[in-house]
Chain A
Amino acid sequence: MSETGKQRVLILGGRSDIGLAIARRFAADGHPITLAARNAQTLEDDKADIALRNAVEVSVEELDVLDTEAMAAFVAKGAAPPGIVVSVIGVMGDQHENQRVAEQAALVMRTNYEAPALALGLYAELMEAAGEGVLVGVSSVAGDRGRGSNYVYGSAKAGFTAYLSGLRNRLSGKGVHVVTVKPGFVATRMTDGMDLPQRLVAQPEEVAEAIWHAVEKRRDVVYVKPVWRWIMGIIGMLPERVFKKTSL
């Protein structure tokens, strides 16, 4: 807690455009912030900016979530867990490369599923013991149904979504809330240069606003742009016989 009485927000994957937007949104509301990322020293300017604008305390920590041992040590250190932990960790990779190069696919699977699930899982233990806390996992609509064009990424997100659902179920009534976020397309470094239908693309700030709102209102599963709920609903309902012939 800070002088403003707001809980600390830890962002795993703090350099991503979405992660920084989330940091700014919570800082504007008076929350102290910790950004955890690889090459954390490159985040000094962002740290200064967020602290100066919002008069909150901001810290930056080195973390590679794929290093499971280091990650577990990172979670364990410190007296109490942060009040809110958000994972925006992910990597898209290239589907064709993921098909051919097992190591590359493994990196995508581990980064989108294994590592964030393990990290939030460890924080869940601490929060359960403390009797309070909020966990936010940024997953993806790509996990709602595996598609030929990016099922390596999609299946890993599906695993993460299922994990978050289970965690939420288990911790319900224990004071710990779990939010699953499915942003749809977002204009970030990940999608730079891709040709996307602009009406379906959210800005990182919109994702951050949706997440802030979901945390305040204790929402379970959020789609940032509501149309995605419809799109994925329809895609989900297509019979496999039909679906397998589409190119989505």
Chain B
Amino acid sequence: MTPSVALSGWGRFPTCWTRLAAPRGPTDVKAELSPGGVIARGGGRAYGDSAIGSSRTLDMGRMNRMLAFDYETGTLVAEAGVRLSEIIDVFLPRGFFPFVTPGTKFVSLGGAIAADVHGKNHHKDGSFGAFVEWIDVMGADGEVTRAGPRDNGALFEWTLGGMGLTGIILRAAIRLRPVETAWIKQQTLVAPDLDAALDAFERADEATYSVAWIDCLASGKELGRSLILLGEHASAEDLPPEQRAHPFRTAPRRKRTVPFDAPRFTLNRHTVRAFNAAYWRNGSKREGEALVDWDSYFYPLDAILGWNRIYGRRGFVQFQCVLPLDRARDGLERLLLETSQAGQGSFLAVLKRLGPERGGLSFPMSGYTLALDFPVNRRALALIERLESIAIEHGGRFYLAKDALLGARSLHEADPRAGLFRQMRSERGMNGVFGSRQSDRLLL
């Protein structure tokens, strides 16, 4: 008998009851498929309720075997529960790194595919899906279909960004990037306001990686002031001579753990404003070039285990939207004005240029994406509702991997693809078996 547990996503909001099973292989997965809403769960790094099944949740963590690797093409075949952190541990010392990675390495392969995650190189390389050669998906009838860009292309596209709602991804083949070292050449640019930040992004479109930390509480002339971090994989020659013999060796980072939920008063408008201002001051002093190890560059937050507890027991939510290029500037200004006026801030506000979209329900489109964290409280929730309307007015859409709050109306208004997705799910008999708290809420 599968036990019932209370589960939440990375934001620890909302928490819902679900039956939780941990299958060891396809036979176990098949045995769990039943009407009522089953969903796969990988690393649990999506913020909201996308990895909580309406009735059953399948923790894919035990299906984490790596099955084959081709050193010529860099193609890895692995089960969906493998985490990017494991892939990096094994393959970075052998000269390979994921082509696309989100800001945490604790995501699973299945989760990266289901959310079609984007990295700091989206403007240049596209999303995770661009490097997936095929996936094996178990459908509602328990049959496994191999889908890729050529074969079963429709299933492939709908699964990328489909948030687990097209079936259970069992395994996948992905291409890794050959790298010469474990280091990144980082360049920090200081942008005193929003226009300067957007200009810097447009000028840096040749950079492999680019992302901005934006001070979402700055106002007036400083609205949108940002630190823009560009990055390139360092070659062996870029390393100091003494490191060249061991280009993949980096000092292990010190891990810290947030041991308990922060009391609510630690996070208020004053501490957050002070944190943001201090971060900006320190960062602007570091303008220029630096050599940074892969872990600190891609995953600064992973060094603080359990950092999601700093927002306290009630949890937190993230607002992330993308605005189309031609309306991004105006939209971003409105979003930032609204946020800084509300003073409901966010330790982490991230701005990023995204490249062209792909099909399915995949989130990215050519334009700018803004991501803001908020503790769960009444004022923040009211603010998020206003931010949603602003995004919709400016032709934006929302990132389901971050979402915990959106209403079905807002989603379908912002993203007509959602309706097609729902129709496809019903035509193919997926909606009877696969369902999450998120898909129930958003009518997907």
**Residues of A that sit less than 8 Å from B by CB:** 45-46, 48-49, 52-53, 189, 193
Interface centre among B65, B79, B90 (most CB of A within 10 A): B65
Interface 1/0 per residue, B73-111 and A, CB below 8 Å? 000000100000010001000000000000000000000
Q: Select A193's contact among B1, B24, B65, B79, beta carbons within 8 Å.
A: B1
Question: Which 5 pairs from chain A and chain B are nearest by CB?
Answer: A49-B65, A52-B66, A48-B67, A49-B66, A53-B90
Closest chain-A Cβ to B252's Cβ sits at a distance in Å of: 16
Question: Complex Cα distance A48/B64, Å?
Answer: 12
Q: Tell me which residues from 7 to 59 in chain B have a Cβ below 8 Å from any Cβ of chain A.
A: 24
Question: Complex Cα distance A53/B68, Å?
Answer: 10
Question: Complex Cα distance A193/B69, Å?
Answer: 35
Closest chain-B Cβ to A45's Cβ sits at a distance in Å of: 5
Q: Are A45 and B67 in contact (CB under 8 A)?
A: yes
Shortest Cβ distance from A42 into B: residue: B25
Closest chain-A Cβ to B266's Cβ sits at a distance in Å of: 30
Question: Complex Cα distance A53/B24, Å?
Answer: 19
Closest chain-B Cβ to A225's Cβ sits at a distance in Å of: 21
Contacts of B86 in A (CB 8 A): 53
Q: Are A53 and B66 in contact (CB under 8 A)?
A: yes
Question: Complex Cα distance A27/B24, Å?
Answer: 21
Q: Are A48 and B66 in contact (CB under 8 A)?
A: yes
Q: Select A45's contact among B2, B3, B65, beta carbons within 8 Å.
A: B65
With contacts A48-B68, A52-B69 known, what are 15 further pairs, Cβ within 8 A?
A45-B65, A45-B67, A45-B79, A46-B65, A48-B65, A52-B66, A52-B67, A52-B68, A52-B90, A53-B66, A53-B90, A189-B24, A193-B1, A193-B2, A193-B3
**Residues of B that sit less than 8 Å from A by CB:** 1-3, 24, 65-69, 79, 86, 90
Closest chain-B Cβ to A181's Cβ sits at a distance in Å of: 22
Write 13 A-B pairs (CB below 8 A) sorted by A numbering.
A45-B65, A45-B67, A45-B79, A48-B66, A48-B68, A49-B67, A52-B66, A52-B67, A52-B69, A52-B90, A53-B86, A193-B1, A193-B3
Question: Complex Cα distance A89/B57, Å?
Answer: 31
Question: Complex Cα distance A173/B68, Å?
Answer: 44
Question: Complex Cα distance A196/B380, Å?
Answer: 41
Question: Complex Cα distance A48/B68, Å?
Answer: 7
Shortest Cβ distance from A49 into B: residue: B65
Shortest Cβ distance from B87 into A: residue: A53
Count contacts between A and B, CB distance < 8 Å: 23
Closest chain-B Cβ to A126's Cβ sits at a distance in Å of: 32
Contacts of A53 in B (CB 8 A): 66, 86, 90
Contacts of B3 in A (CB 8 A): 193
Question: Complex Cα distance A53/B76, Å?
Answer: 12
Shortest Cβ distance from A50 into B: residue: B65
Closest chain-B Cβ to A187's Cβ sits at a distance in Å of: 9
Shortest Cβ distance from B3 into A: residue: A193
Closest chain-A Cβ to B29's Cβ sits at a distance in Å of: 14
Contacts of B66 in A (CB 8 A): 48-49, 52-53
Shortest Cβ distance from B82 into A: residue: A49
Closest chain-B Cβ to A7's Cβ sits at a distance in Å of: 23
Question: Complex Cα distance A49/B79, Å?
Answer: 10
Closest chain-A Cβ to B327's Cβ sits at a distance in Å of: 47
Question: Complex Cα distance A49/B25, Å?
Answer: 14
Question: Complex Cα distance A189/B67, Å?
Answer: 22
Question: Complex Cα distance A193/B2, Å?
Answer: 7
Closest chain-A Cβ to B31's Cβ sits at a distance in Å of: 12
Question: Complex Cα distance A49/B65, Å?
Answer: 5
Question: Complex Cα distance A179/B67, Å?
Answer: 32
Closest chain-A Cβ to B144's Cβ sits at a distance in Å of: 15
Question: Complex Cα distance A45/B1, Å?
Answer: 27
Contacts of B24 in A (CB 8 A): 189
Shortest Cβ distance from A195 into B: residue: B3
Shortest Cβ distance from B22 into A: residue: A192
Contacts of A193 in B (CB 8 A): 1-3
Contacts of A45 in B (CB 8 A): 65, 67, 79
Closest chain-B Cβ to A50's Cβ sits at a distance in Å of: 9
Question: Complex Cα distance A45/B62, Å?
Answer: 13
Question: Complex Cα distance A48/B70, Å?
Answer: 13
Question: Complex Cα distance A46/B25, Å?
Answer: 11
Closest chain-A Cβ to B23's Cβ sits at a distance in Å of: 11
Question: Complex Cα distance A193/B3, Å?
Answer: 7
Contacts of B2 in A (CB 8 A): 193
Question: Complex Cα distance A49/B68, Å?
Answer: 8
Contacts of B79 in A (CB 8 A): 45
Contacts of B90 in A (CB 8 A): 52-53
Closest chain-A Cβ to B82's Cβ sits at a distance in Å of: 9
Question: Complex Cα distance A189/B86, Å?
Answer: 24
Question: Complex Cα distance A37/B65, Å?
Answer: 19
Closest chain-A Cβ to B79's Cβ sits at a distance in Å of: 8
Question: Complex Cα distance A129/B24, Å?
Answer: 41
Closest chain-A Cβ to B62's Cβ sits at a distance in Å of: 9
Contacts of A48 in B (CB 8 A): 65-68
Question: Complex Cα distance A46/B79, Å?
Answer: 11
Question: Complex Cα distance A49/B78, Å?
Answer: 9
Contacts of A189 in B (CB 8 A): 24
Question: Complex Cα distance A193/B67, Å?
Answer: 29
Question: Complex Cα distance A171/B251, Å?
Answer: 44
Closest chain-A Cβ to B249's Cβ sits at a distance in Å of: 17
Contacts of A49 in B (CB 8 A): 65-67
Shortest Cβ distance from A46 into B: residue: B65
Closest chain-B Cβ to A24's Cβ sits at a distance in Å of: 10
Shortest Cβ distance from B65 into A: residue: A49
Closest chain-A Cβ to B3's Cβ sits at a distance in Å of: 8
Shortest Cβ distance from A51 into B: residue: B66
Closest chain-A Cβ to B140's Cβ sits at a distance in Å of: 25
Closest chain-B Cβ to A158's Cβ sits at a distance in Å of: 30
Contacts of B69 in A (CB 8 A): 52
Closest chain-A Cβ to B19's Cβ sits at a distance in Å of: 12
Question: Complex Cα distance A53/B3, Å?
Answer: 32
Contacts of B68 in A (CB 8 A): 48, 52
Question: Complex Cα distance A45/B63, Å?
Answer: 10
Closest chain-A Cβ to B83's Cβ sits at a distance in Å of: 12
Interface centre among A46, A48, A189 (most CB of B within 10 A): A48
Question: Complex Cα distance A189/B24, Å?
Answer: 9
Interface centre among B24, B67, B79 (most CB of A within 10 A): B67
Contacts of B1 in A (CB 8 A): 193
